[in-house]
Structure 1
Amino acid sequence: MKSLLLRTKALCQRLLLPVVLTVFCSTAAASTFISPDHSHFLYTGRIDFSKAKSPSLSWPGTSIKANFSGSSLTIVLDDQHGKNYFNVIIDGNDSSPFVLQAKQGEHRYLISSSLSAGAHSLEIYKRTEGEEGASQFKGLVLDASGKLLAPPNRPQRRMEIYGDSISSGMGNEGADNGADDLLSDKNNYLAYGAIAARALNAELHTISQSGIGVMISWFDFTMPQFYDQLSAVGNNNSSWEFSSWTPDLVLINLMQNDKWLIDNEKRLQPVPDDAQRIVAYQQFIATIRSKYPKAQIICALGSMDATATEQWPNYVRKAVKNLQDQGDTQLDTLFFPFTGYGQHPRVAQHQANAKQLTAFIREKMRWY
């Protein structure tokens, strides 16, 4: 009897093996890979496409949008340092995005395996900066019946921001009484510029770096050395092709770090006088103007302590006035008030600044 049972068990195992293998193989094959060079992806920002199948995202706010069908979604990324964070927004639900913390190297990230039947929208949005390194997008994995649908429409209006940690969104999701240097609390999606751009239905490029200044930074390069790069990872020799994307409006929010490092830290020696500060800022504005002869340029400042007094806003005003006297009629100033809060602006302050900026742009550009 025992030998009969053993022979029966062996027979069952032989009979079941093909079934198990069939189920395993069909499960492994039950997916659809979407390459990054698919024409239905909508990319936004300064993205390096030198490798079409692994475009590199480094600037804050660079994003990938798509429409797709299917019940599951997996994102494939190859991250440089394992320090980047992304918002993954499904079906426009940006109030509770999937926050993806990238690991170093190439990995697959399952976002959902239980999406409802039908069409869905996707946005992959880089929360962090070039300071955290670049991340290569390696594609999507959908279920076997999934596919990319026609892409969303690209906004017709275009905005660009040159800024520092304020424009990046440094620490904006931190507690009011807590630190603001955690990478998980840096969310460019909720920075004032990004909020305003969405309200105005404008495509936005954010060229920002925490700690950067016009004359001096917390590191060994300044915005005049950094602004024209394709890659945001440190000071490098990459070059952005300005003719490839021209904004209707440019906002420049710099000089907070200059103010701190020159007046508070005394790190720039000899200390520049008022005239030298004005000239340095004016030269950078003129450089941006040379790239975009027809763009409206807003020279902004705030909302940290550079606007606590009129000293630094007056440098901006004087530089703008000088350029206006030279015939530039498409220059404005805008100052975000200092609230007395001693750290980086939190989301509530970004929202207030965005409201101020949106109203100003609506009036100036007639973007209703």
Structure 2
Amino acid sequence: MKLFHSFLLGALCCSSFAWAEPVQTISADNQQYLYTGRIDFADKKSPSISWAGTSIKANFTGTSLAVKLDDQFGKNYFNVFIDGETQHPYVLEAKQGEQMYVISTALKPGNHSVEIYKRTEGEEGATAFKGLVLDAGAKLLAPPARPTRRIEIYGDSITSGAGNEGADNGVDHLLNEKNNYWAYGAITARNLNAELHTISQSGIGIMISWFPFIMPQFYDQLSAVGDNKTQWDFTQWTPDVVVINLLQNDSWLIDREKRLQPIPSDAQRVQAYIDFVRSIRAKYPNVPIICALGSMDATANPKWPGYVNAAVERMRKENKDTKLDTIFFDYTGFGGHPRIAQHKANAEKLTAFIKQKMNW
């Protein structure tokens, strides 16, 4: 049984839906939108959204709301939260190409809020936001305040939220059950009233992935759609704290699947982790970095957490890096991706850790 009931919206093309009243499109370049995440604004009227957890917020007037999107593959899902209703969102299933999605034509007159939140990740493709469609006499209001605190997190399917809405005895791969909003990092950021950038990809590792690229090749991209040549400008947005939760896929692919040959030694595994953390440190010389692992079976025994601990101890000693910490999420014995209940428990632990560390 799912913890959160969702209502799945179908796609309604502009040409096939007649509004009761005249409407207007508020272009994506309107200054009253609040954008969060690594977003490609090369075309300001059609910004490209690809990373899990990317969101667009707006306050508006009127009695109706629709969203215009142009989706790359027709595989993405979005939460659409109206007036802060997060427990029962509209879940928008994007169709390929440019479409208009009618969210409601029966809102109460007055002021309203909306958040469009990408549940899925770069694996499902990019989506161009084309704007909101409102009543003819409606308008955007001043946007909500941007949080002053900032968290950035690097991770894999756990951080993305893969399978988190699935039944405990269900499968892990359904796209409509991947919901980054209820992943531990996103919950933690809301707990701390922090803006979050999630840089994650299901199946990715530091030394090896289930596909031909690894996080050291991926973490600095503007677009999350595969391995590409786009470059994120790290000076554009600096976090207050960074969380790294990787090595789960390395543990499977190296120890269980024997996919990386020759099999790296313990020293090589530690060095690979150090190299990646140092690449993040080079971007953010003074930002605390929390090296995490879990809550899948990489924390079932001390081996992989031991690599993280050894790497952190070496960096503290060799680089005099005092802004490094570790946190581990215990393996619960559940064989699949963490479900929402586990994400909540992990978020509670991470929230308390960051709150104490950052004096938040």
Task: Check whether TM > 0.5.
Answer: yes
Q: Aligned pair 1:359/2:347, yes or no?
A: no
Q: Aligned pair 1:327/2:320, yes or no?
A: yes
Distance 2:30 2:19 in 1: 25
2:65 aligned partner: 73
Indicate conservation of the 8 Å contact 2:59/2:144, yes or no: yes
For each residue in 1:20-78, what CA deviation from the matched residue of structure 2 results, as whole angstroms up to 9, or x when unmatched?
xxxxxx96871121000000000000000001100000000000000000000000000
1:337 aligned partner: 330
Indicate conservation of the 8 Å contact 1:131/1:234, yes or no: yes
Aligned length: 342
* SS of equivalent residue, structure 1 residue 242: coil
Indicate conservation of the 8 Å contact 2:57/2:116, yes or no: yes
Alignment match of 1:346 (pick from 318, 329, 339): 339
* SS of equivalent residue, structure 1 residue 279: helix
Indicate conservation of the 8 Å contact 1:84/1:127, yes or no: yes
Q: Aligned pair 1:172/2:167, yes or no?
A: no
Paired residue type of 1:227: Y
Distance 1:290 1:251 in 2: 15
Q: Which has the larger radius of gyration?
A: 1
Measured after TM superposition, the shift of residue 146 of structure 1 is: 1.0
Alignment of 1:136-147 (within 5 A): 136-147=128-139
Paired residue type of 1:98: Y
Distance 1:85 1:333 in 2: 33
Alignment match of 2:307 (pick from 315, 336, 340): 315
**Percent identity between the two aligned chains:** 68
* SS of equivalent residue, structure 1 residue 361: helix
Alignment match of 2:192 (pick from 177, 200, 218): 200
Distance 2:286 2:101 in 1: 43
The runs of 4+ residues in structure 1 deviating greater than 2 Å are 26-29
Structure with greater helix share of residues: 1
Indicate conservation of the 8 Å contact 2:293/2:329, yes or no: yes
Alignment match of 2:112 (pick from 97, 120, 133): 120
Distance 1:292 1:119 in 2: 40
Paired residue type of 2:236: S
Alignment of 1:28-177 (within 5 A): 30-177=22-169
Distance 1:29 1:349 in 2: 46
CA RMSD of aligned residues (A): 1.0
Runs (5+) with no aligned partner, structure 2? 1-17
Q: Aligned pair 1:259/2:259, yes or no?
A: no
Classify 1:27/1:217 alpha carbon distance in 2 versus 1 (closer, same or farther; 3 Å).
closer
1:15 aligned partner: none
For each residue in 1:221-240, what CA deviation from the matched residue of structure 2 results, as whole angstroms up to 9, or x when unmatched?
00000000000000000000
Distance 1:74 1:27 in 2: 11
Paired residue type of 1:160: E
Alignment match of 2:267 (pick from 266, 275, 284): 275
Paired residue type of 2:327: L
Indicate conservation of the 8 Å contact 1:36/1:53, yes or no: yes
Indicate conservation of the 8 Å contact 1:60/1:127, yes or no: yes
Q: Aligned pair 1:210/2:202, yes or no?
A: yes
* SS of equivalent residue, structure 2 residue 235: helix
Measured after TM superposition, the shift of residue 91 of structure 1 is: 0.6
Indicate conservation of the 8 Å contact 2:157/2:201, yes or no: yes
Measured after TM superposition, the shift of residue 180 of structure 1 is: 0.8
Distance 1:126 1:79 in 2: 12
Classify 1:190/1:219 alpha carbon distance in 2 versus 1 (closer, same or farther; 3 Å).
same
Runs (5+) with no aligned partner, structure 1? 1-25
Indicate conservation of the 8 Å contact 1:32/1:147, yes or no: no
For each residue in 1:117-173, what CA deviation from the matched residue of structure 2 results, as whole angstroms up to 9, or x when unmatched?
111111000000000000000011101121000010000000000000000000000
* SS of equivalent residue, structure 1 residue 356: helix
Distance 2:112 2:99 in 1: 23
Classify 1:249/1:30 alpha carbon distance in 2 versus 1 (closer, same or farther; 3 Å).
same
1:11 aligned partner: none
